[in-house]
Structure 1
Amino acid sequence: MMSRRRIVVGAAGLGALILILILWRVFFAGGDEPALLTADVTRGDIEQTVEATGTLEPKEMVSVGAQVSGRLETLNVEVGQVVRKGELIAQIDAQTQTNTLRTAQAELANMQAQRASQQATLAKAELSFRRQQAMVPGEATSMADFEAAEADLKSARAQLAVIDTQIQQARVGVNTAEINLGYTRIVAPMDGVVVAVVTKQGQTVNANQSAPTIVILAQLDVMQVKAEISEADVIKVDAGLPVYFTILGDADHRYNASLLQVEPAPESIVDEVNSTSSSSSSSSTAIYYNALFEVPNTDGKLRALMTAQVSIVLARKKNVLLIPSSALGAKAKDGTYSVRVMGAGGRMEQRQIRIGINNNVSAEVLSGLKSGEKVVVGQATEATASSNSGGRMGPPPF
């Protein structure tokens, strides 16, 4: 009987324990505080930047065109070729310009011959006038003959002046024809590299309306980067700030430079001026301002129209206390921020700190924290709760 009673009592006790565990699970376990993620207060470098997308362009780029019409007889360059200033690039058929020059030269020669003839006429008129003038005192001639000789002299002089003017016009015509003949020789206006050939050999060009482009020359030893900065960021940017960029083909290499200028108006201002509905277009279109800087290209890796991922450095500090920006709480009126600090034994405390640079990833700590302390950055998920260095917060299990 005693054995049976002990068994009954033991079974009842075990049942009660099981019931207590079930009740705890139901009413208490679900109320555990969520696990928290923490991060160490560390030392490191931080910078605040404005990010932009830019385009690489040659510092100097010239479209070499034709100023006269005609067939392109020879093309002496190809894409990628290095040329020097004054070097012959192409030759346009010069027959028309040559004939025009010969016609102008013949016209000049004709005017010069007429001038020689008119000079003889003037000399004859001067002799006749002097004879009449000498005979007037002795009344050996009539006043009518004297006045006629004087009029002939004036007419001869005027005619010579007209011919002199025509000679000047003819000389201008010869000079213009010589220039146009020289335009049939397309020469390089500067040292550079041929980056594009627009007109092919044998093609006819027409310069009556606009100068057709033959080739495009560029100087590639220095590249200019034109970065588009949004209107929200442009007020933070000034000339002289350090800047760096990477290209898509070599994201690990940074090119460093200094910002030269920020253009005062966006490129779209031209469209705005020409548009009849500028007010409606400006309200729906994003506004970007061009920031310009230059970078050496001695190895030739940088090419025209490459895309550059640009970072303009607004502030930069080295070896300072850092915490994740996600650890920052509300900003107080005195400029401090609240953070939750995890102490020994999982004890958490609220603390006010002052920060410096904040790039939305990391924040510089000016005061309120020490290196090695832990700050709470958020709640852990089920996957990260087991690895959380701060441990779980809540009632311990039975």
Structure 2
Amino acid sequence: MPTMNAPVPPDDVDGVTLLPAWTAPARRTRGSRRLVLGVSVVTLAVLGTLAFMGFRAPSPDSLYETVAVTRQDIESTVAATGKIQPRAYVDVGAQVSGQLKRLHVAVGDEVTAGAVVAEIDAEMQAAKVEGIEADVARLTAELAEQEAGLAFAKRNAERHLTLSQSSAVSKVAFETAERDRDILIARIDASKARIRQMQADLHAQKTALRFARITAPMAGTVVSLDAKEGQTLNANYDTPLVLQIADLDTMTVWTDVSEADVVKLREGMPLWFTTLGRPDRKWHATLRQIQPAPRRPDKKVEAKAATQSGNVVLYTALFDVPNKDGGLKAGMTAQVFFVTAAAQNALVIPVSSLNEKSEVRVLQGDGTIAVRKVETGARTRFLSEVTSGLAGGERIITGVKASGPPAKLRVES
């Protein structure tokens, strides 16, 4: 009798692999549930914080560039460049030709008016003077001889006149005596004229002889020597320069001002300037003169100057500066500032904060912004005086901060 239990089939029947029996999945542990719950809570917290911050308005300081209204001295100026030169100077030249025999001064020496500063070899002038003096003496002797002859001719003419009245002499003899007298009178007049001419030549030669000793026409300082001892000077075509004397106690600044700025200047206005060697020191002065026409350029450099300046029209403004301490030297470059307006302890704001209507934006204490009209005065490139419309300490907006990382916000409880 067959049994009731069926035999277990083998693992491999006719080459077919059987799947393993199904088993139920394992249940999740308690730790995994806690991890998922924690991540969810953190995520919700972050999203809530971001949402809360998104609804908070940023502070004004994080949005705008501001500056406080302060007080300080301010002045509006016109800038220009000038050259420092002595106010009084003279070029001393040779008025006669000859060899420069001796120089009595050197650069930097102080001289007085009338002092001999140089000598030219005057042997030729002295010889000319002697020759003319001899000619004058000869003409004077000839004149004396002619005057003696004239006296005889006059007496002879008078005798012939008396004799002719009694017919003692012929009429021809009488006329001959008068002719001789008149000829002598004419010769005497010619001799006197030649003597006057020779005396004029003598005076000129004596003057030239005196010019051989070159003297200082003014008191001052020798600032340059243009000739050397032994040099031959030719004064026939041009006056050769020997030296230059200048009064360095007062200097004049020759300032070039463009045609756009010269209309802002007026004689008597204050100014100050610095030099390249002493930018920390200010010299103060007053504008003396504005020349009515542009300075004529040197023809030799006219083309070059026109190319470099771009045909800019420049006017010359002059002012004087005391120089007792000798701090200013001839030829120095001066950076000049003409003061067109000035104010002391004035309220100032940046020029960039003003619009074309002279309005500024004021950041008020409650964080709001007010647009305010202001009155301005003196102005520089960067600052402007405010005469009305603002008070000291108020903050004005000068710009908007550049975009970048978000500003840190303070969350108040």
TM-score by length of 2: 0.84
Displacement after TM superposition at 1:206 (Å): 1.0
Structure-2 residue corresponding to 1:247: 275
Structure-2 residue corresponding to 1:348: 369
RMSD (Å) for aligned C-alpha atoms: 3.3
Structure-2 residue corresponding to 1:148: 176
The one-letter code matched in structure 2 to 1:73 is: K
The one of 363, 381, 384 aligned to 2:384: 363
The one-letter code matched in structure 2 to 1:212 is: P
Question: Which one is further off, 2-11 or 96-105?
Answer: 2-11
Displacement after TM superposition at 1:52 (Å): 0.9
Equivalent residue runs for 1:200-349 within 5 Å: 200-268=228-296, 284-331=310-357, 337-349=358-370
The one-letter code matched in structure 2 to 1:242 is: P
The one-letter code matched in structure 1 to 2:368 is: R
CA distance in 1: counterparts of 2:97 and 2:162, whole angstroms = 63
8 Å contact kept, 1:341–1:349 = yes
Change beyond 3 A, Cα 1:24–1:131? farther
The one-letter code matched in structure 1 to 2:203 is: N
Structure-2 residue corresponding to 1:177: 205
Q: Does 1:80 align with 2:101?
A: no
Displacement after TM superposition at 1:4 (Å): 5.9
8 Å contact kept, 1:257–1:294 = yes
Displacement after TM superposition at 1:379 (Å): 3.6
Displacement after TM superposition at 1:18 (Å): 4.8
CA distance in 1: counterparts of 2:342 and 2:177, whole angstroms = 96
The one-letter code matched in structure 2 to 1:77 is: V
Which protein is bigger by CA-based radius of gyration?
A: 2
8 Å contact kept, 1:326–1:377 = yes
CA distance in 1: counterparts of 2:368 and 2:329, whole angstroms = 58
Q: Does 1:133 align with 2:161?
A: yes
CA distance in 1: counterparts of 2:167 and 2:150, whole angstroms = 25
The one of 395, 401, 408 aligned to 1:374: 395
CA distance in 2: counterparts of 1:129 and 1:65, whole angstroms = 59
Structure-1 residue corresponding to 2:118: 90
The one-letter code matched in structure 2 to 1:99 is: A
8 Å contact kept, 1:353–1:367 = yes
Say how many residue pairs are matched: 381
The one of 7, 28, 36 aligned to 2:64: 36
Displacement after TM superposition at 1:15 (Å): 3.2
CA distance in 2: counterparts of 1:239 and 1:271, whole angstroms = 30
* Uncovered stretches (5+) of structure 2, i.e. residues with no partner: 1-28
Change beyond 3 A, Cα 1:292–1:396? farther
SS at match of 2:374: strand
Question: Which one is further off, 314-323 or 295-304?
Answer: 314-323
Change beyond 3 A, Cα 1:221–1:321? same
SS at match of 1:110: helix
Change beyond 3 A, Cα 1:207–1:22? same
Displacement after TM superposition at 1:252 (Å): 1.8
Displacement after TM superposition at 1:8 (Å): 3.2
Q: Deviations over 1:26-50 (max 9, x none)?
A: 9x99xx9974221111122211111
CA distance in 1: counterparts of 2:108 and 2:276, whole angstroms = 22
Displacement after TM superposition at 1:59 (Å): 0.8
Equivalent residue runs for 1:159-198 within 5 Å: 159-198=187-226
8 Å contact kept, 1:57–1:226 = yes
Change beyond 3 A, Cα 1:107–1:21? farther
CA distance in 1: counterparts of 2:63 and 2:94, whole angstroms = 75
Equivalent residue runs for 1:380-395 within 5 Å: 380=401
8 Å contact kept, 1:346–1:393 = no
8 Å contact kept, 1:34–1:379 = no
Structure-1 residue corresponding to 2:20: none
Change beyond 3 A, Cα 1:395–1:85? same
Structure-1 residue corresponding to 2:3: none
Q: Does 1:47 align with 2:75?
A: yes
Structure-1 residue corresponding to 2:149: 121
Displacement after TM superposition at 1:227 (Å): 1.1
* Uncovered stretches (5+) of structure 1, i.e. residues with no partner: 332-336, 387-391
Q: Deviations over 1:87-132 (max 9, x none)?
A: 1111110101001111111111111111011111111210110011
The one of 105, 116, 119 aligned to 2:133: 105
The one-letter code matched in structure 1 to 2:114 is: G
SS at match of 2:355: coil
Q: Deviations over 1:136-171 (max 9, x none)?
A: 211111111111111111111111101110010010
Q: Deviations over 1:272-295 (max 9, x none)?
A: 9x98x9xx9899411211110001
CA distance in 1: counterparts of 2:51 and 2:395, whole angstroms = 36
Structure-1 residue corresponding to 2:14: none
8 Å contact kept, 1:239–1:259 = yes
CA distance in 1: counterparts of 2:131 and 2:402, whole angstroms = 92
Q: Does 1:65 align with 2:64?
A: no
CA distance in 1: counterparts of 2:403 and 2:318, whole angstroms = 49
TM-score by length of 1: 0.87
